[in-house]
Amino acid sequence: MISIISLIAVFVSILLSFFLLTVHRERKLGNVLLAGFILLNAIDLSAWFIYGFTKYHPDLELFRRSTSWLINPVFYLYALSICFSDFKLKAKHLPHALPFIVYNLVLLPRFYLADITAKAIFLENYGEGPAAKTMLLNGTFTICMLFYWCFPGLKKIQEDLPGKLCR
């Protein structure tokens, strides 16, 4: 049952993302970032129904898991694009992708370049290994830091809002 529900949720997420990417607005960056956030969540949610496929393609399974490193940073950038009308992606935002890149580079020799048997053993013991614990700790840390970084933007909006309210 959960496989069917997650399949429907992923399908709806893809449709919504497609809509966000095709709708014409003056501030398109926010739509692109929101579509990216929704797609990354859909990729994460797809674990409930693609296990049969990724069992035979362990590289795709671990890469799917690693995309969760991008969910929170993309949402943070989306929040910035909503808070600030002049927001643009700049080189200073690239460090948000570093955990994703480093994680995949660290696993390159240990997993991606290993033989199929070693990959199966790695994934079988994934939850108990340091990779999963690192992912959990980093996810918690990232959420806390991104919430902390969002507060200055929200404070600025709160200060600017009273003068912009309709009377």
Do 96 and 134 fall within a single domain? Answer: yes
Same domain, 63 and 122: yes
Whether the model clears a pTM of 0.75, i.e. scores above it, the answer is: yes
Please tell me whether residues 64 and 126 are part of one structural domain. Answer: yes
Residue 33 within a domain: yes
The rounded radius of gyration (Å) of the Cα atoms in the chain is 19
Pair (64, 127) in one structural domain: yes
Mark whether 104 and 62 lie in a shared domain.
yes
Please tell me the predicted confidence (pLDDT) of residue 42: 96
| Residue 20 belongs to a domain | yes
**pLDDT at 167 exceeding the cut of 60:** no
The reply to whether 24 and 93 lie within a common domain is no
Total structural domains within the chain: 2
Expressed as residue numbers, the domain containing 147 is: 58-69+89-158
For residues 143 and 73, the answer to whether their CB atoms sit within 8 Å is: no
Instruction: Please tell me whether residues 65 and 147 are part of one structural domain.
Output: yes
Structure token pair of residue 31: 């739509």
- For 94-113, how does the pLDDT look when each residue is reduced to its tens digit (9 = 90+)? 988 988 998 899 889 888 99
List CB contacts of 111: < 8 A, sequence separation 6 or more: 58, 59, 62, 118, 119, 122
The pLDDT value given to residue 153 = 66
- Closest C-alpha among 69, 146, 56, 139 to residue 104: 69
The label of the residue with tokens 């929704």 reads: 38
The residue-averaged pLDDT of 74-94 equals 88
Residue 114 resides in a domain: yes
In angstroms, the CA 139 to CA 137 distance is 5
The reply to whether 93 falls in a domain is yes
Dump pLDDT digits (tens) for 8-40: 999 999 999 999 999 987 779 999 999 999 999
pLDDT top residue among 12 and 148: 12
